[in-house]
Structure 1
Amino acid sequence: MLDTSELLRISRMYHRELPNLKGIRFRGDDLRKICYENLDIDLAKVADVSGWFKFWEMPAVADYQALLSAYVQGLDSILWLAQVEQWMHLVVIEPDEINKLSQFPHGNLNNHYLGLKTMAWNCYLRHSQSDYKHLLKSYLKLGLVELQLVPDDIMQKFNEQYNAIDEIN
């Protein structure tokens, strides 16, 4: 089962320690801009790895582990955004709500992707907390429904990628 509180805790530790380990300092609004740029790129990576839009390579069959890794990177970017914007209170999603998301029908992946991008830019340009909450839930639905990722696999991969801060140095 996905535990958004635990994912946020791991992400917070990672993004709190990483700049110290790398000796990085940010000026002014740079961290916020980097966070949004990172999210934009990570959303594109998920689309690229999954290949749903690549009609010229049909049938597109994504490698599950590569897709899971790209998806987890995007999820971390969304959680990092909550930290930078101080919207962490919006991250906690109850298990029954996540279960409801996983019961939604398949949607059009192109519309879903463009919707995610629109919500992300609304967060940036309008400081919209409601768009952030919808972005997070929509991204979770993308993983659980459209990409058919297993919740336990998401938790495990997230732990592997972001709970090993000591290995980064």
Structure 2
Amino acid sequence: VWKIHRGKADPDKTHRATLLNEYVDAMDFFFLVSAIQQWTHLIPVTPEQLTTIAAKPATDLNKQYLAIKHLLYDAYFNHRQESYQHAWHVFLKIGLVDFGFTQDEIQTAFTAKNHVNEQRQANNY
């Protein structure tokens, strides 16, 4: 959303790989907020929950984006953990259903991105 050239691939990546990289970057922010709010218990999902999330139909990304923003505002301003967890599940659904990433792709990309972030911190990024 915040990139000037939306849809343009990073020079060394395909469009899909760029999207996956941005997705796991946003995922890291979900983890950060959960840590700051002490809501890390809301992040884990059961295999059954993942199956339910992955079975949902693809829907309008604009509406899902606005829903996530609304839920995160509610979570923050009204201290509603349920809203945060719902936003997290919608975010997972976007990755698994709307973007078509597998759990393995997401985990591998997240681990790789986390490694880059650790290197940046070590180099005073």
TM-score by length of structure 1 reads: 0.62
Contact kept, 8 Å, 1:45 with 1:70, in 2: the verdict is no
Structure-1 separation of matches of 2:2 and 2:53: 22
User: 2:111 is matched by which residue type in structure 1?
Assistant: N
Equivalent residues in 2 for 1:1-150 (5 A)?
44-45=1-2, 49=6, 63-150=15-102
Q: 1:49 to 1:144 in 2, by over 3 A?
A: farther
Q: CA RMSD in A?
A: 2.1
Gaps of 5+ in 2: 9-13
Which whole-Å CA distance do the structure 2 matches of 1:167 and 1:89 have between them?
Answer: 28
Q: Which residue, 84, 97, 107 being the options, matches 1:155?
A: 107
In structure 2, what is the Cα distance between the partners aligned to 1:65 and 1:103? Answer: 23
Question: Counterpart in 2 of 1:25?
Answer: none
What SS is found at the alignment partner of 1:107? coil
1:167 corresponds to 2:124: no
Unaligned residue ranges in structure 1 (runs of 5+): 1-43, 52-61
1:159–1:87 CA distance, 2 compared to 1 (3 A): same
The one-letter code matched in structure 1 to 2:15 is D
Higher RCO (CA < 8 A, seq sep 6+): 1
Q: 1:50 to 1:118 in 2, by over 3 A?
A: farther
The answer as to whether partners of 1:49 and 1:66 remain within 8 angstroms in 2 is no
Write the deviation string for residues 91-145 of structure 1: whole angstroms up to 9, x where unpaired. 1111221121111111121211110111111122111101000011000001111
Alpha-carbon shift at residue 45 of structure 1 (Å) = 4.2
- Quote how far apart the aligned CAs of 1:163 are: 3.7
